[in-house]
Amino acid sequence: MTDDERVNEKELRVQVNRQISCGISGIFALGTNGECYALTVQEKLDVIKIVVDETRGRVPVYAGTGCISTGETIWMSRQAKELGVDVLSIISPYFVAVSQDDIYRHYSKIAESVDLPIVLYNMPARTGNNIEYTTVLKLAKYPNIVGIKDSSGNFDNTLRYIENTDRRLSVLAGSDSLILWTLLAGGRGAIAGTANVYPEIAVSIYKLWQTGRIEEANQQQARLRPLRDVLKFGNPNSVIKRAMNLLGHPVGPAREPVGGTSQKVDDELRKAFEFYK
Residue 93 exposed, middle or buried by CB count within 10 Å (0-12, 13-18, 19+): buried
Residues catalogued as catalytic: 121, 149
Contact present, 123 and 158 (Cβ < 8 Å): no
Cα–Cα distance, 138 to 50 (Å, whole number): 35
Residue 97 exposed, middle or buried by CB count within 10 Å (0-12, 13-18, 19+): exposed
Contact present, 205 and 27 (Cβ < 8 Å): no
> What is the three-class DSSP state of 260?
coil
- Strands 145-150, 118-122: pairing is parallel
DSSP string, 214-230: HHHHHHHHHHTHHHHHH
